[in-house]
Structure formats: structure tokens, C-alpha cells
Amino acid sequence: MSPAGGATRVRFAPSPTGWLHVGGARTAYFNWLFARRHGGAVVLRIEDTDVERSSAASEQGVLDDLAWLGLDFDEGPREGGPHGPYRQSERLGLYRAKAEALLARDAAYPCFCDDADLERRRQIAHAAGRPPHYDGRCRDLPRDEREARVRAGEAHSLRFAVPRREWTLQDLVRGEVTFPEGVVGDFVLLRSNGLPTYNFACAVDDAAMEISHVIRAEEHLPNTPRQLMLCEALGGRPPAYAHVPLILNRDRTKMSKREGEAAVAVGDWRRAGVVAEALLSYLALLGFHPGDEREILTRAELLECFALERVGRSGSIFDPDKLRWVNAHLLHHADGARLAAWAEEFLPAGARALPRADLERLLEGVRGNLAMLADLAGELEPFLVERPAFEPAAVAVLDPAPARALCGELAAALESLAEWSEEGVKSTIRSTGAQLGLKGRDLFQPVRVALTGRVHGPELPLVASLLGRARCVSRLRAAAAGRP
Ligand code: GLU
């Protein structure tokens, strides 16, 4: 239920001015979890009134990343809905009408100051140690002068006449936050080109779309008094707010794209082969504390315990190694069908061509060596080609004569093995080793290298079974002959 007793309705409101940031993905996920847990609706609103910086390509990219994350929306530009359109650039008439209503009530006024003059006055205020707020010059212009100048077509913006009092917010994460009187100056609602500012469009839309809870990054906290004032001036009841702490670089600054820091774009992690489940779990637990020691939570598990009261107040440092660990854990424990679905974009052509059952078996065979899906091509290679390329560390393993002799003996033994099975291969390797006085590393490593060109990989009987008898025998023979 919302604070007003109505339905729970949240929104994710990206500005399509770039790619989806991991922080944005976490905000979207928190909104989604909150709404789904409370039987509410999630609205996707595109905040594209900054025409110079917004682009259709960016919107497309953000929507694709959200779809990849598996976050679905009940209303939005693709879904439609009763409160549309869901792109702010298509709602300009509404902002104008609301601005006119505020103007008619003297809650807003036209401002004729131009940018250069405003900047100069800001500098003077700054130098004098005063806050850099608008100095209110046009607030008290006589009504007839104002109207005459507007009628004469003089360029002007529309400013909000900020009520002179303090504002208190009961934030669902941060607790009580007070904004003293004077913390904001009269701010612009509509620019001289008729486009709304972020705060105005946001407050109008949160009210029009009947948003009950605004869950967003803490960096928006300074905007909240503006939106509270506007909400009141527009005659609405403000939503509840939850400002979630930032995701940080190692030096505790806001996580941003920087040399030596982890990737910030969801798309970069996706292309590197992180699965959406891993990214979401990792991001959720960067701010949310489940109250126990669990380090990975599925969506279903989070839906059972997610609560804004359990979101911490301080920012968390993004640790790419921890994300890789979460990803590896999920990959190591997934079955073949799931791996095949995740791996779709990462499979080399040879793997795609395999019958589904063989592919799934192969993926289960190599999953223990994967940290990222991008590792797949390398891990699968020995199973897809006639002769695998040897990795540098493997080259010297077959140099000693006993290693080559072992390969020759084993080729013969496997060729005549009565029943080709993992069990059979396992005991054949052992008995051949015993016969030649080889065990442990001296036994297994040459066989592994001969079969796969690698020093690490799945268990040998599994490797043999995945390769099939003919390829095993021919690779062992080649190794025995010193031509791997
Ligand atoms: N468009 C804003 C952003 O991308 C959203 C702010 C909000 O959630 O109110 O940061």
C-alpha cells in the first residue's frame, strides 16, 4: 500500500543520455523487487527532455539491457498504459498546462534574466560567500510590467516562487532529513525554449502517474525538496521517498568510467560474459542486507526478503572480483540446459552445430573452468576441433620420453577397450600408469595435454567421453609420435 493508502506504484526513470550504469540497474532492480513484493506496478518513464544529450539509440540500449536483466515493466513506452505517453518529450503539453496553473496562482513567475547575466550574478554571490541561488530579481516585478513584457514576446523562462519555509522528509532509507529554509533558490520550471527542467517534469509526472514510492540514488536527494514543494503547489500528495546509497570506486568516489576501475556499463559486463542473475544478485547485495550470511540471492529469494529498511545508508565499493566469483559460482552449479541458454551469444560455431544433448553435456563438462561466459570459446575449443592448439604451458609436458611412451601405450589400450565408458577409461588410465610406473601428476598431466592441449580442465574420463574414442586414440598417437 502507498502512504496515501492507494496501490503501490513505482517508477524507473532513466535519462537516455548514455548506457545503463550498474547503479541504474540496481535502482531498477530495487524498484522492481519492491513493487513485485507488494503486488504493485512498475512504470518505466523515459526522461528525455534534455534534447541535446538524449538519443533514440541510447533509449534502445537501456531498454535492451533492462530486458536482458529480466526486469519487466507494467507500463512504459513499449508496454503502453493508462498514464502514457511514457516519454517526457511526448508530454510537453502537460508540463505547459501545469506551469500555466502555477503561474495563474502566482506560485511561478516569468523571469527575463538572460544566461550571461545570471552567471555574472552567480559569480558575485559566490565571491561574497552567499549561496549561488537566483537573487529573485524578477519575482517582484509589477504584474503589468511582467505581462506586457511577455506579450511583447520577450524571451523568458518560468521560475518557481519557492515557499519560504523548511521541509522535512521521512526517507525510507535515510530516516528524517530536514532541508532548512533557503536551501534552494527560485528555480526554473520551463526554460525559455519551452522545455521543462528535470525537477518540474519529474514532480508533474510522479503525481500524474500516481507514483506511491520513489526509489532512486542518493545523488537525487538535493532535488527532493524541490519536488516536495512542487508537489504541494500542484495540489498533490507527495510520494514516499527512498534514497539508496551510491556504488563507489575504490577511493569512495561515485563509481564512474575510469582508468583502472571496473566496468560501469551493464553492457560491458554482459559482453564479458556475466549472467544477468549474477549481476543482479551482486548489485542487490551491495546495498541490501538480507540479515544472514548468504552471499548470493536469486530473484525468488530476494522477493521473499527485500525491504527498504534493510538497505544500508552508506555507499559500497564495487568489487569486480566478487562479481566474478558470484558469476563463477552460478556457472559451476548450472545444468546443461541453463548453461546453453546463458551461453547463446558466446558459443563458437562448432558448438552451435552440435546436437542439443551433446552441447549440454559438453557445457556441464567444462563449466567448472568458467568464470565468465567469454571463457567458453577457449574451454570448448579442444572438443570442437580435430587437433587442439597447445597452450604455452602445455608444450613442454610431452617432451620427456616416459610421457610419450605413456601416450602410445594408452592409445593402444583405449583402442581395444571393450566398452567405451568413463569407468572403463578411468581404469585403463590407471592400469596403464601402473604398468609404466607412473602415477599422480606424471600420469595425468601428459594424458590431459595430449587430449586437450591444456594443463587444466575437466576430469579425464569425462574429457575422453566427450571427445569419443577415435579422437582420443588419434591425439594420444600424435603425442606419442612427438607431433601434438
Ligand atoms: N532521470 C533521472 C536519472 O536518470 C532519474 C531521477 C529520478 O529517479 O527521479 O538520474
Cβ pair 222, 194 in contact under 8 A: no
Residue 202 Cβ contacting ligand 1 at under 6 Å: yes
pLDDT band at 5, cuts 50/70/90?
A: low
CA dist list (Å): 457 to 337, 373, 382, 425, 464: 21, 16, 10, 16, 12
pLDDT at 4: 47
Q: Ligand 1 centroid to 113 CA: how many Å?
A: 28
pLDDT at 250: 84
Residue 381 Cβ contacting ligand 1 at under 6 Å: no
The yes-or-no verdict on residue 258 having pLDDT over 80 is no
Q: Is 198 exposed, middle or buried (0-12, 13-18, 19+ CB in 10 A)?
A: middle
Q: Ligand 1 centroid to 14 CA: how many Å?
A: 6
DSSP calls for 430-481 = HHHHHHHT--HHHHHHHHHHHHHS-SS-S-HHHHHHHH-HHHHHHHHHHHHT
SS3 12: strand
pLDDT digits (tens, 9 = 90+) for 114-135: 999 999 999 998 899 888 899 9
pLDDT band at 253, cuts 50/70/90?
A: confident
DSSP calls for 307-375 = -GGGB-SS-EE--HHHHHHHHHHHHHH--HHHHHHHHGGG--HHHHTS-HHHHHHHHHHHGGG-SSGGG
Q: Indicate the top mutation candidate among 11, 12, 15, 231 to test ligand 1's pocket, ranked by most ligand atoms within 8 A of CB.
A: 15
Residue 205 Cβ contacting ligand 1 at under 6 Å: no
167 forms bridges with which residues in the sheet? 179
Q: Ligand 1 centroid to 15 CA: how many Å?
A: 7
Q: Which amino acid is it at 220? A: H
Residue 203 Cβ contacting ligand 1 at under 6 Å: no
The ligand 1 atom at the shortest distance from the C-alpha of residue 217 is 8
Catalytic residue, from 257, 322, 426, 439: name it: 257
> Which residue's alpha carbon is nearest to atom 5 within ligand 1?
13
CA dist list (Å): 271 to 267, 288, 289, 322: 6, 26, 28, 18
Which of 158, 66, 146, 166 shows the shortest CA–CA distance to 108? 158
CA dist list (Å): 41 to 1, 73, 213, 361: 11, 8, 11, 40
Cβ pair 272, 279 in contact under 8 A: no
Cβ pair 234, 98 in contact under 8 A: yes
Q: Which three cell numbers stand for residue 356?
A: 542439443
pLDDT at 1: 45
∠ CA 356-359-361, rounded to 5°: 110
Q: In what order do the strands lie in the sheet with 41-44?
A: 41-44, 9-12, 213-217, 240-244
Q: Ligand 1 centroid to 102 CA: how many Å?
A: 23
pLDDT at 221: 97
Contacts of 27 (CB under 8 A, 6+ apart): 12, 215, 216, 217, 244
What sign results for the dihedral spanned by CA atoms 177, 181, 183, 187?
A: positive
Cβ pair 66, 167 in contact under 8 A: no
Please, where are the H alpha helices in 156-214? 198-208
Q: Indicate the top mutation candidate among 220, 228, 256, 266 to test ligand 1's pocket, ranked by most ligand atoms within 8 A of CB.
A: 220
DSSP calls for 52-81 = TT--HHHHHHHHHHHHHHT---SBBTTTB-
SS3 110: strand
Please, where are the H alpha helices in 367-437? 376-384, 401-415, 422-436
Residue 43 Cβ contacting ligand 1 at under 6 Å: no
pLDDT at 255: 87
Q: Is 380 exposed, middle or buried (0-12, 13-18, 19+ CB in 10 A)?
A: buried
Q: For residues 48 and 17, give the distance between their C-alpha atoms in angstroms, rounded to a whole number.
A: 8
Cβ pair 382, 475 in contact under 8 A: no
Q: What is the mean pLDDT of residues 322-336?
A: 98
Whether 98 is catalytic: no
pLDDT digits (tens, 9 = 90+) for 387-411: 999 999 998 999 999 999 999 999 9
pLDDT at 209: 97
SS3 192: coil
Q: For residues 157 and 92, give the distance between their C-alpha atoms in angstroms, rounded to a whole number.
A: 15
pLDDT at 484: 63
The ligand 1 atom at the shortest distance from the C-alpha of residue 219 is 10
Which of 350, 67, 97, 348 shows the shortest CA–CA distance to 207? 97
SS3 92: helix
> Which residue's alpha carbon is nearest to atom 6 within ligand 1?
13
pLDDT digits (tens, 9 = 90+) for 352-378: 999 999 999 999 999 999 999 999 999
pLDDT at 62: 98
pLDDT at 134: 94
pLDDT at 350: 94
Q: For residues 146 and 140, give the distance between their C-alpha atoms in angstroms, rounded to a whole number.
A: 9
pLDDT digits (tens, 9 = 90+) for 144-180: 999 999 999 999 999 999 999 999 999 999 999 999 9
Q: Ligand 1 centroid to 251 CA: how many Å?
A: 24
Specify the pTM. Answer: 0.92
Domain 385-484, second-level architecture: Orthogonal Bundle (1.10)
Angle between helices 401-415 and 469-480 (to 10 degrees): 150
Contacts of 120 (CB under 8 A, 6+ apart): none
